[in-house]
A and B are shown apart, each in its own frame.
Chain A
């Protein structure tokens, strides 16, 4: 019997063939699983090594091991979710979507493992204190618009205090100001990404309405702080 990985390239299957083999007889299933895992591993390795500037400190071997582990987990997840494949795309694209989400989730959890929402509260100082220069020299406020900026900042502070709930404030502060992924914030808040997105959507809308009610349009604010 021929060694599969010796001369034969990865098989291009139709969507129907993938589904039939992945749920079929043991031999065909094993071959399909191995092809799928290998395919996902290639895609993940490409992403980790070419598209992630934050992973450049890792060696090719380390990235390869990460890709292998992630592809293994992704393959299992694909198999667990076969019933949800609708056939709108190629099967391998759908499987890669699952693998990408798993890989990125893993990277997010690793990067933000120590992140906490505890310090994010609307009590006291509403907006986060800076640790460096507040404004670059070329955009520092002139005496003429410094007062106007201060007034707008007070209105933003009021909008944040009055328009948002504590939970909305925490979520908005983490996601919009600190660039923390929704997935991480959702976990810390004990909810899911979908529910958090809706919560943030409502928060942004309420904040916008509150600012507009105070006469502050987004165009005006952008212009004021760009001057």
Chain B
């Protein structure tokens, strides 16, 4: 049976179990409400865990939210460093 499973798939399955948490979790909508404020601070060098650990927990479990958070932080960092000005 296990020969039909990619090692990467097995690890993904185990990873998703490892990153599960027993407590009541923040959902995507609640996470999204905090992302702009959080992203601004992270773009300035703050650590998510120091600011909103429950959002950090959600971002570890939710690739969609994490992808959107990373994108927002990247744009803010580019803006803060003047890279967006070069775009025009």
Contacts and interface: CB of A to CB of B under 8 A. Distances in A.
A134 B6 contact: yes
A43 B72 CA distance: 9
A139 B7 contact: yes
Interface stretch (A17-25, A109-117, A190-198): A190-198
A93 B36 contact: yes
A57 interface: no
Given A128-B5, A149-B2, A218 B18 contact: yes
A104 interface: yes
Nearest to B78: A46
Nearest to A157: B1
Interface in A164-201: 172, 175-177, 179, 181-183, 193-194, 197-198, 201
B4 A225 contact: no
Contact of B11 (A149, A156, A225): A225
B68 A104 contact: yes
Interface residues of A, number: 58
Contacts of A47: 71, 74-75
B64 A193 contact: yes
A132 B83 CA distance: 42
Given A154-B1, A197-B28, A100 B71 contact: yes
Contacts, number: 150
A161 interface: no
B76 A182 contact: no
A182 B62 contact: yes
Nearest to B9: A177
Nearest to B29: A194
A153 interface: yes
Contact of B62 (A139, A172, A197): A197
A153 B75 contact: no
Contacts of A28: none
16 contacts: A46-B75, A46-B84, A47-B71, A89-B37, A97-B72, A130-B4, A130-B9, A134-B2, A150-B2, A181-B67, A193-B28, A194-B29, A207-B20, A218-B14, A218-B17, A218-B18
Interface of B: 1-7, 9-20, 22, 25, 27-29, 32-33, 35-37, 39-40, 61-64, 67-68, 70-72, 74-76, 78-79, 83-84, 87-88
